[in-house]
Chain A
Amino acid sequence: MSKIPILKIEDFLIVSIQTELHDRMAEELQRDIIDELGTTNAKGVLIDVTSLDIVDSFLGRLIGDTANMTRVMGAKTVLVGLQPAVAITLVELGVELTGVHTTLNMEKGLEWLRNSTRRI
Chain B
Amino acid sequence: MAKKREVKKGKEVIHKMEVYEKVLNNVHEEIMLIDRNFKIIWANKNVLDKYGTEKTGVISDLCYKVTHNIDHVCKPPHDICPVEEALKTGKPTTELHAHFDREGNKIYAEISAYPVYDNKRITEFIHISRDVTERVMFEEKLKEQQKAILELSTPVIKIWEGIITLPLVGIVDSTRAKQIMESLLDAIVKTQASIAIIDITGVPMVDTEVADRLIRTIKAASLLGTKCIMVGIKSDIAQSMVHLGIDLSGIETFSNLQIGLERAFSNVGLKVAKDE
Contact = CB atoms under 8 A, between A and B. Distances in A.
Interface in A45-99: 79-80, 82-84, 86-88, 90-92, 96-97
Interface stretch (B5-13, B135-143, B181-189): B181-189
A87 B223 contact: yes
A113 to B, nearest CB: 13
A7 interface: no
Contact of A84 (B192, B193, B194, B224): B224
B93 interface: no
Contacts of B186: 84
A102 B220 contact: no
B63 to A, nearest CB: 42
Most buried by A among B181, B193, B220, B221: B220
Contact of A88 (B182, B193, B194): B182
A117 interface: no
Interface string B221-248: 1111110000000000000000000000
Contacts of B226: 104
B192 A104 contact: yes
A98 B224 CA distance: 13
Given A104-B224, A108-B225, A84 B185 contact: yes
Q: Give the contact-size bracket for chain A.
A: 20 to 34
Given A84-B182, A88-B182, A91-B216, A97 B223 contact: yes
B223 to A, nearest CB: 4
Contacts of A88: 181-182, 185, 216, 220
A82 B219 CA distance: 13
Contacts of B222: 102
B225 A82 contact: yes
B187 to A, nearest CB: 9
Contacts of B219: 91, 96
Contacts of A105: 192
Interface string A18-46: 00000000000000000000000000000
Contact of B223 (A102, A108, A109): A102
Interface residues of B, number: 18
Contacts of A90: 220, 223
Contact of B225 (A91, A92, A103): A103
A104 B220 contact: no
A106 to B, nearest CB: 11
A90 to B, nearest CB: 6
A92 B216 CA distance: 8
Given A88-B182, A104-B192, A108-B194, A80 B225 contact: yes
Given A91-B216, A104-B194, A108-B194, A84 B225 contact: no
Contacts of A109: 225
Contacts of A80: 225
A79 to B, nearest CB: 8
Contact of A102 (B182, B192, B225): B225
A104 B225 CA distance: 5
Contacts of B192: 104-105
B194 A87 contact: no
A14 B225 CA distance: 18
Nearest to B182: A84
Q: Which 5 A-B pairs have the closest CB atoms?
A: A84-B185, A103-B225, A87-B220, A102-B225, A87-B223
22 contacts: A79-B225, A82-B225, A84-B182, A84-B189, A84-B224, A86-B223, A87-B221, A87-B223, A88-B181, A88-B185, A88-B220, A90-B223, A91-B219, A92-B216, A96-B219, A102-B222, A102-B223, A104-B188, A104-B189, A104-B194, A104-B226, A109-B225
